[in-house]
Amino acid sequence: MTEIEVYTTPTCPYCTKLKNWLEEENIDFEEFDLSQNRKKAQEIVKKTGQRGVPQTLIKEDGEEKAVVGYQPDKIKAEI
């Protein structure tokens, strides 16, 4: 089963655009607001080395793949 985590901030327009796209595509995801969750912010930076948002973490069969930024085609290819 594929799990999708989306790391966002409330002021990021691309975060909103990504969440809207995921909802339109009926793709389930769990959102983490990094402005409210310092622990998750530290975790995603450690995993990807990136501080920008949005970041999408795709988990499947014990593997994780990260997509940084608004890249629906790349996300679609990974799920």
Q: Is the pTM above the cut of 0.85?
A: yes
State the pLDDT at residue 11: 96
* pLDDT tens for each residue of the chain, 79 residues long: 789 999 999 999 999 999 999 999 999 999 999 999 999 999 999 999 999 999 999 999 989 999 999 999 999 999 8
- Reduced 3-state DSSP string for the chain: CCEEEEEECCCCHHHHHHHHHHHHCCCCCEEEECCCCHHHHHHHHHHHCCCCCCEEEEEECCEEEEEECCCHHHHHHHC
Contact 31, 10 (CB under 8 A): no
Please give the pLDDT value at position 45.
94
Query: Would you kindly state where each structural domain of the chain is located, as residue ranges?
Result: 3-72
3-72: CATH class: alpha beta
